Chain A
Amino acid sequence: MALNINRPEPTLFEKSRPGRRGVRPPVYDVPRADLPQEFLRQDLPLPELAERDVVSHYVRLSRKNYGVDLGFYPLGSCTMKYNPKVNEVAARMRGFVDIHPLQPVETVQGALELMVRLQEMLAEISGFQSVTLQPSAGAHGELTGVLVIRKYLQDIGEGQRDIILIPDSAHGTNPATTSMAGLKAVEIQSDEDGNADLRSLQAVLDKYPGRIAGLMITNPNTLGLFEAHIQEICQMIHDAGGLVYGDGANLNAIMGILRPADVGIDIMHFNLHKTFSTPHGGGGPGAGPVGCVEKLAPYLPGPIPQRQEDGSLDWAMPAKSIGRIRSFWGNFGVLVRAYTYIRMHGAEGLREVSENAVLNANYLMHHVKRTYPVPYGHRTCMHEFVAQGKLPDAPDVHALDIAKRLIDLDNAHPPTIYFPLIVPEALMIEPTETESKETLDQFVADLEQIAQEARTDPELLHEAPHNAPVRRLDEVQAARRPILSYIMELQQQG
């Protein structure tokens, strides 16, 4: 009999018993070095568990999680594709996992070789001249890119440019990054077809002459639509003296279909954990390499591994670099997985990935829009689309209720909800290329069943999930009276 996954699992601290021991570290026969008593801590209240209990604790917790390996995970904007198992073997090879980042460069030539090859392949896929692998995540790549733009503009005597334009459909990281880099975010509206609105763009360009540092744009955008005027937009920004940052979150739609640099993007991050199949890990680690055109390359963070004339590899700091953006060289273990993925696909394979991601999304949209509103459903979507969790004959049912009911039906993780912000009651659905037609058909059937329930039994939806390790959680209380550790739980109990 399987353990009931809905049974509460006590915390480690509740399971701890004084004197119990887990793993014993090695101890060798060297003289004891006693530091002065005043330097030492008095108490170390870490949990005390036997190894056997540690393992069952975490295995039980793992069963309260949903992952891609369990089934469909159409979380829009996150590209929850299958994570090939070979990636995990690759990243755990002794010669990759057990090397110190500061070893002499001649002892890590294989690691630098992999990095240089990955840089070259990402440059080829995107059309950019140079790539840095240092940024650790998409948002980290964004910060890198905006700092590069800022420093470049200062260098050419255009340091007064302080505005970054951002479409209203953008990820929150874009405006947050802009502020973090010391620049100001100004919003561009979307037009009735879901594209960045050219009139809105022109109006802002006219309003701030000489102050435009650049534009951050996601293409395909977060509505899942290809920006139909992308070349014109890039041209307008360049004419205004700015640079174009591409948010590469949605690259999975366009590999081998379009190289972003070809339409005027100047600098862009890649999300290796989305497009290139490295596992999301419950929210990291990812990697957010940044590629750019030639004139920005001297500003990239470094050091960057490069081929030398004698064929060896060494680190080089770009001449006008913004500096380091993190310690050491990047999330190397993630880079190994992405390298593995690209090598297994080749050019044709990557194009096949994007073609099927887009086909799956259009097939799903075609069926979903029979039941749910899809605001831009008149257009062909790319790798994802945004429906609305509001049904004309069930006004009290919301996107949240539909998401929670999907948990009960147990065939899929719910889609992203309430994003992008410009679509009320958004259900953002991204099937990816690694799902079958049967899976997509089942998801359509589930959504249709839920629409039916919304009309006949809305309470069923409002109270969902009924079948999960916990029911709906009180997030308001969590924020008002924060309990952020087990110590605080004990304190609150008095």
Chain B
Amino acid sequence: MTFVVNTDADRAEMLAAIGVQQIEDLFHDVPAAHRFPQLDLPPALTEAEVLADLRAMADRNADLEGNVSFLGAGAYHHFIPTLVDFVISRSEFYTSYTPYQPEVSQGTLQALFEYQTMIATLSGMEVSNASHYDGATSTAEGVIMALHLTRHKRTRIVMAPTVHPQYRAVVRTYLQGYDLEFVGEDLPPFDYLDALTELIDDNTACVVVQNPDFLGAIQSPARLQELADAVHAHKALFLVVANPISLGLLTPPGEYGADIYAGEGQATGNALNFGGPYLGLFACRMAHVRKSAGRIVGETVDVEGKRGFVLTLVAREQFIRREKASSNICTNQNLNALACAVYLTALGKQGLRQVAQSCTDNAHYLASRIQELPGYEVLNPGHFFHEFVVRCPEPVSAINDYLLHEKNIVGGYDLGQDYPELGDNVMLLCTTELNTPEQMDRLVEGLRERSEAHGA
């Protein structure tokens, strides 16, 4: 079925008005040899049939309603209040487009202005944009901004080994058209700050760290401020990636010298969705905003002096500057940014702090239980937020198979592919506020059973 409105009678009337015999005649400019190909697509389905087809595929996935998860690594299973989906399901929001006509888009614009305010507050930065595609591309846009700010005269990008491996990969993909040198990624992942500082020189455009980092570790703000000072001594830019949930509790990047904040906004109000759509959080200093990428909403007044909101600083953007634009990005991840704003509002100051505290409490409870198990060792040498690294007595895949089939648990992330230097059998575990003590005890039980079976 289609959603076309015209009837045969409508079509006949319209064709007659135009003075054309049949619809096919409208396509006379299309090369005749290739016109009207027979497409080999599956037959059309009715709504009932397509829902059954989709249900069959959805049912082949092990969803986290029926299973317990300790998987994080950049995507997090948090509770999403019912009102978030209620708001983003308002069709005035989801069936609108980019607010080119601000007079009939004040809903989107004000919501984004409020979103920008909350992200600036959360990150401790002066100004937030209206979001990027995801945390990885937001990081890449931040690095590009640093290149613009150093006038494309510097060619070194320093990245800590514990920036999310996929973010580092995306930065390298985005920047393959430039002649750049990427350093720092091969430093020891639990002890890199001093060595990273050594790598900064006068040719460095940008230094990228993540805190809490990919392995869950948190650095002290004082230590990161020292790093920021070293970055600034070389007139380079300091980019910090951080999980927004952690910022409910931890000192924000703006308070330890970050010039650019990038983050994955999924955890705040967006479902896991098998990896997308998510949103990239992005904030920076006011002095740098005119070199930044992406949509920004600003406040102004109308001809009667009434407060209103518009897209602003558009002279940076592709539709004005074309090849001289700061980026090619057009839109933001608007509906995801709206979900993030609604989530932060619904939880508010006390709620977000509570979520962050529960995540930490759970992770530390779980880590202490696992540390007691024979054959397992928690590797994080310092403080961590809601993720930590565990060395297991056998391959991670074997443990995860057992947990899934015997305990209905989706286990941790196998770090072997990204951090071979940590050795074999190393797993990244994550807890959120959704993990109950019973679930954590069940995981510990499963791990114990494996190690006993393994004779540890």
Contacts and interface: CB of A to CB of B under 8 A. Distances in A.
Interface string A407-424: 100000110100100000
A322 B271 CA distance: 29
A12 interface: yes
The interface size bin for chain A is 35 or more
B433 to A, nearest CB: 5
A8 B308 CA distance: 9
Nearest to A280: B97
Contact of B41 (A12, A100, A125, A366): A125
B348 A283 contact: no
A339 B312 CA distance: 35
B103 A67 contact: no
21 contacts: A30-B362, A30-B365, A47-B348, A59-B90, A67-B96, A83-B95, A90-B51, A99-B62, A136-B134, A139-B329, A140-B137, A143-B174, A147-B176, A327-B135, A327-B137, A327-B166, A327-B276, A362-B14, A473-B103, A484-B298, A485-B120
B57 A114 contact: yes
B110 A282 contact: no
A397 to B, nearest CB: 17
B107 A63 contact: yes
Nearest to B295: A283
Interface string B397-430: 1001100100000100100000000000000000
Contact of B61 (A108, A225, A259): A108
A12 B177 contact: no
B63 A99 contact: yes
Interface stretch (A181-189, A238-246, A387-395, A451-459): A181-189
A368 to B, nearest CB: 12
Interface in B314-331: 314-315, 317-325, 327-331
A478 B64 contact: no
Interface string B333-364: 11110100010111111111111011011111
B313 interface: yes
A172 B319 contact: yes
B118 interface: yes
A407 B11 contact: no
A93 interface: yes
Contact of A484 (B135, B264, B297, B333): B297
Interface stretch (A38-46, A199-207, A290-298): A38-46
Contacts of A173: 318-319, 328, 330
A258 B37 contact: yes
A442 interface: no
The interface size bin for chain B is 35 or more
A92 to B, nearest CB: 8
A152 B16 CA distance: 50
B163 to A, nearest CB: 12
Interface stretch (B74-82, B202-210, B372-380): B74-82
Nearest to A46: B349
Interface string A278-305: 0111111111000000000000010000
A273 to B, nearest CB: 9
Given A47-B348, A179-B323, A35 B360 contact: yes
Nearest to B436: A28
Interface stretch (B42-50, B192-200, B227-235): B42-50
A484 B99 CA distance: 16
List the 10 closest A-B pairs by CB distance, nearest first: A182-B177, A328-B275, A95-B58, A110-B60, A346-B44, A101-B275, A285-B277, A281-B335, A33-B364, A65-B107
Contact of A45 (B34, B45, B167, B349): B349
